[in-house]
Amino acid sequence: MKLHFTCKKEKETVSLGKRFGRILKPGDIVALTGDLGAGKTHFASGIGEALGVKEYITSPTFTILCEYEGRMPMYHFDLYRLENEEELFDTGFWEYADSEGVTVIEWPEIAMPLLKKGGRRNIYTVTITRRDDISPEYREIDVEGDGRLEELENTVD
């Protein structure tokens, strides 16, 4: 299933992330794709808010991973700086991805073939596209995955 959303302001991107976060369950994986500055971290902060995270969520660009506690753990990865699968294994990524938390991945390209190969069923892909031709804050967001996306259609903020 694939859903399409438009967000005219940054706060709408965060709000959509929050709506999406409400449908997530332990073990779910969220792959956030989009160009630099697309709004991946804003979307992730909405997910964190829905999961009860009280801390300010930042992109883990230099740390690779930020762990947050809420009603369930949120493991926020940024794989931008990784060059190969071996480096991915060295991060401990699989221990987190196979845990009872929600794993949110920015720049997931290096992990996606392995995640799909592993047969994990609860993988959602969120593609965020900046539309600077319309407005600097305007985003088109596509959410794909099996599972509970019909619940996302029916949520309101």
In tens, the pLDDT along 72-91 reads: 999 999 999 999 989 999 99
* Model-wide pTM > 0.95: no
Where on the phi/psi map is residue 79: left (φ > 0), alpha (ψ -120 to 50), or beta? alpha
Domain ranges of the chain: 2-141
- Render pLDDT for 120-154 as a digit per residue (tens, 0 to 9): 668 999 999 999 999 999 999 999 987 677 777 77
Percent of the chain with pLDDT over 70: 94
* Cβ atoms of 20 and 114 closer than 8 Å: no
Structural class in CATH, domain 2-141: alpha beta
Task: Look up tokens 């991973």; give the residue.
Answer: 65
